[in-house]
Amino acid sequence: MSRPTDTDPASVSPAATHPVPRAVMIMEWNNLTFIHWRVDPDAVQRLLPDGLTVETVAGEAWVGLVPFEMRVTLPHAPWVPWLSSFPETNVRTYVRGPDGTTGVWFLSLDAARLSAVATARATYRLPYFWSAMTVTRAGEIVTYTTRRRIPGPRGASSTVAVRIGDAYASDDAGPFEHWLTARWRLFSAPGHRVLGAWADHEIWPLHSAELLHCDDELVRASGLEPFGDPLVHWSPGVHVRVSLPTAIAR
């Protein structure tokens, strides 16, 4: 089994590192909350395919629960409101690829639109699940609910409520906040290959946030046991361009 890779948070750029001039998908990630917990690095590594190594900071690995509102279009295609806008919730951790680049490994992705689930599973080979989901906002309080439909484990659910705090000034977010949030590559591993795709968006406009309620089964359903107090950030969102996934040599 590969050994965890301890990294300096300052090595992650808060700005996109690879422009995506020919995006295959154009998205908005809106009304988004990052909730991060510590997890055992060895437990994360056991969930990763060959070629990926869990990243740690000061020996600690992290898992993120990230609920938000998605709006997605294809280049040169019209936006269809019912089809293109839906809630999504990701469970993610941070890894280093076989070529030395760093990015996100998705343990699960729940989306409320079945067509989006089928497309992402077929093209990006990501572990998407079709779920019943809602996002509601009352003043500065945002509530996200998820209940998984298919594929299993059927019924895994998550209910999270946060209170949005003050916006970070441009220099308030430190290297560790960027390490948790500003990730510019996603990995997948169909068969014996490792694929990577680049994401390109503006620097995250982050706010502090208070976790008011968290009844989550999605992180544990992914095979991890979080511990410690969570770190919570909220963002109004970003506009995202995503590249075609390509194979990475091991």
Q: Summarize pLDDT for 192-237 with one digit per residue, the tens.
A: 899 999 999 999 999 999 999 999 999 999 999 999 999 999 999 9
The span from the CA of 82 to the CA of 105, in Å, is: 28
Residues 6+ apart with CB under 8 A from 17: 184
Whether pTM > 0.85 for this model: the answer is yes
Record: fold of 5-248 = Acetoacetate decarboxylase-like (2.40.400)
What pLDDT band is residue 154 in, cutting at 50, 70 and 90? low
The span from the CA of 22 to the CA of 41, in Å, is: 35
Read off φ and ψ for residue 43, nearest 5 degrees.
Answer: -65, -40
Check residue 69 and give its pLDDT.
97
Query: Which helix or strand (DSSP H or E) is residue 133 part of?
Result: strand 128-138
Instruction: Answer left, alpha or beta for residue 44, where phi above 0 means left and psi between -120 and 50 means alpha.
Output: alpha
Cα torsion at 12, 21, 66, 82 (round to 10°)? 170
Name which of 66-70, 103-107, 168-172 the model is least confident about: 168-172
